[in-house]
Amino acid sequence: MSNTEIEEEARKIRRLQLMMNMVMQVICGDENLTVEEAAELVAGAKRAALALFPDKELAYELLYKPRLQRLMRERFHLQ
């Protein structure tokens, strides 16, 4: 990998982390957010993550999906 490719990969990772942190903050902090809106945020975050890293769905499923599911359960008292 060239330095440019490494820098681009690092930039995409930072962008993904920032986006996921923002989604998690909104789910936790927005008292007016409905469960449907939160689910849309989660689905959009997954689409965006896979747009950045098309071949990394398994990584998304292992890293972010459990966190988002836990937040949804805690926030909306889901089973």
Confidence of residue 79 (pLDDT cuts 50, 70, 90): confident
Domain boundaries defined on the chain: 3-76
Q: What is the mean pLDDT of residues 12-16?
A: 97
Render pLDDT for 22-43 as a digit per residue (tens, 0 to 9). Answer: 999 999 999 999 999 999 999 9
Q: Give residues with Cβ within 8 angstroms of 27, minimum separation 6.
A: 33, 38, 41, 42, 68, 71, 72, 75
What is the rounded radius of gyration, in angstroms, for the C-alpha atoms of the chain? 14
